[in-house]
Structure 1
Amino acid sequence: MSYNRIGVVTGANKGIGLAIVRQLTLQYPKSPLNNGSFLIYLTARDQSRGEAAVQDLHNDAQLKQAKALKSDGGQTEVEYHQLDITDQRSLDSFAAHIKKTHGDGIDFVINNAGIALNGFNAELVKTTLGCNYYNTMEACHKFVPLLKPEGHIVNLASMSGHLNKYSDDVQKRFLAAKTESDITSIMKDFVSAVEAGNEKEAGYPSAAYAVSKAGLIGATKALARAEQEKGSKILVNACCPGYVNTDMTKGKGTKTPDEGAQTPVLLALSDIKGATGQFWQNEKPIEW
């Protein structure tokens, strides 16, 4: 069937990703985006986990009480679709499905998929940057042509991506960057410094996840600028959900997943008055 509104959430079978899908379902009816039926693609690498997550939502007492899902008389349908952003074939396949099934375009993508690994060495750095920076931006480039003319892209970054962890010189490079390739050159220099064992001397923290998220914030800003320069009305923003109690924070977070979902959901569903290329936290833009 056809839907009036369509959204995609990556890495959505658990944690913040699943909470984002849940909050989208709850908040859509009163949101400015509400224009009738709503389809959310809950995407995940693993089919059994993704389908189990969809079932969890159907059994969710709050969603049932709100009559949010179509099965309970609501407007929203949640559908699992396989997507592993680190697998080019998976990304291509999902993009082809969207293009074929939703020729008029989709309304938003929330790029939540990411990894946080223990330890610190060159291989771990490459793996982390691969997923959180390179693959996430590749997903952005795949999704931009699939969006409606005023669609939104929301990239889940982190407060660990703040620039206060870098030397003045590296901070200046981040802030002066105009293009995605400018940010990529900073990421490459970080990898080279780690391989040489002198990343601290080069002005970087010894932290793969933090640098990957700083890169993602910078590249998000660059993508937003590129869209503006070609006259596009697509809005591209990065956000920090906060320190959320999930597997990724090993249960140490101070926010619930539902609380962490608020900013990305705001950026997807709300009229953000043309805001683009910004870094958001606690439902408002902040200094990078």
Structure 2
Amino acid sequence: QQLQAEGLSPRFHQLDIDDLQSIRTLRDFLLKEYGGLDVLVNNAGIAFKVADPTPFHIQAEVTMKTNFFGTRDVCTELLPLIKPQGRVVNISSMMSLRALKSCSPELQQKFRSETITEEELVGLMNKFVEDTKKGVHQKEGWPSSAYGVTKIGVTVLSRIHARKLSEQRKGDKILLNACCPGWVRTDMAGPSATKSPEEGAETPVYLALLPLDAEGPHGQFVMEKRVEQW
């Protein structure tokens, strides 16, 4: 109602990022109705509560399926639709940075690499899930936060996709970043979180509305509108 009062009439469309057919239906709708996409914000994600009794390897698999692979599928289908000067924002988390610092030096080096490929990243994300099933994830250098590892995946995927855009669509001035909205009062984070949803939206909206002539940020991890060292 508030948007309509401002002369805006948002249209909604079903999307389940765990369902490839659902993503492709949205893709076809966007192409047919609008010929492409100006702004994509990948916000869908899940987390188990700390006290959840679900076995860790199942938490790892389920969280990875949505947070990393679902987000990746959306990018695979929708990034080709992004118009020149478009903006892409992947909602990651400060937990990705925290989890990165808890990884072994070998894993940290891989995740910080400027040349890591999407295939290599997918291999690492699958390895984490496999290692949890075997009960060897800590021995293999992984942190004990499944959510954190999935968000490492989102941040690194953002770096890879930004690099690809710079190579393949150099003149199009598309900017793609990952960000942390902060600790936001949602059903997922709970009522004691420090930010309202409106406050949580500040950094994602800033990145979605970067001026058309902006050169950056691009391929960065952003918190409180500031680029963080990855």
1:94 and 2:26 correspond? yes
Correspondence for 2:133: 195
Which residue type is aligned with residue 239 of structure 1?
C
Give the one of 96, 110, 128 matched to 1:173: 110
Q: 1:188: Cα distance to partner?
A: 1.8
Correspondence for 2:11: 79
Which residue type is aligned with residue 171 of structure 1?
Q
1:114 and 2:52 correspond? no
Which residue type is aligned with residue 12 of structure 2?
Y
Correspondence for 2:101: 164
Q: How many aligned residue pairs are there?
A: 219
**Runs of 5+ unmatched residues, structure 1:** 1-57, 64-68
CA distance in 2, matches of 1:235, 1:143: 14
Correspondence for 1:260: 200
CA RMSD of aligned residues (A): 1.5
- Tell me if the contact between 1:128 and 1:212 (Cα under 8 Å) persists in the aligned partners: yes
Q: If the length of structure 1 is used for normalisation, what is the TM-score?
A: 0.73
User: Which has the larger strand fraction?
Assistant: 1
Which residue type is aligned with residue 97 of structure 1?
F
Q: 1:209: Cα distance to partner?
A: 0.9
Q: 1:125: Cα distance to partner?
A: 1.1
SS, match of residue 247 in structure 1:
coil
Correspondence for 2:75: 140
Correspondence for 1:236: 176
CA distance in 2, matches of 1:106, 1:187: 28
CA distance in 2, matches of 1:142, 1:253: 33
Which residue type is aligned with residue 24 of structure 2?
D
SS, match of residue 242 in structure 1:
coil
- Tell me if the contact between 2:110 and 2:116 (Cα under 8 Å) persists in the aligned partners: no
SS, match of residue 219 in structure 2:
coil
**Paired residues for 1:1-288 under 5 Å:** 58=1, 63=2, 69=3, 71-72=4-5, 74-103=6-35, 105-117=36-48, 118=52, 119-162=54-97, 163-176=100-113, 177-232=115-170, 233-271=173-211, 272-288=214-230
Deviations 1:199-252 (A, max 9, x none): 111111122111100111001100111111113432211000011121111222
Deviations 1:68-119 (A, max 9, x none): x3x32x342212111111111111111100000012x221010101111244
SS, match of residue 171 in structure 1:
helix
- Tell me if the contact between 1:120 and 1:206 (Cα under 8 Å) persists in the aligned partners: no
**Runs of 5+ unmatched residues, structure 2:** none
Which residue type is aligned with residue 113 of structure 1?
A
Deviations 1:127-150 (A, max 9, x none): 111110011011012111211112
Which residue type is aligned with residue 243 of structure 1?
W
CA distance in 2, matches of 1:222, 1:276: 11
Percent identity between matched residues is 37
- Runs of at least 4 residues off by over 4 Å: none
Q: 1:120: Cα distance to partner?
A: 4.5
SS, match of residue 208 in structure 2:
helix
Distance 1:150 1:123, change over 3 A: same
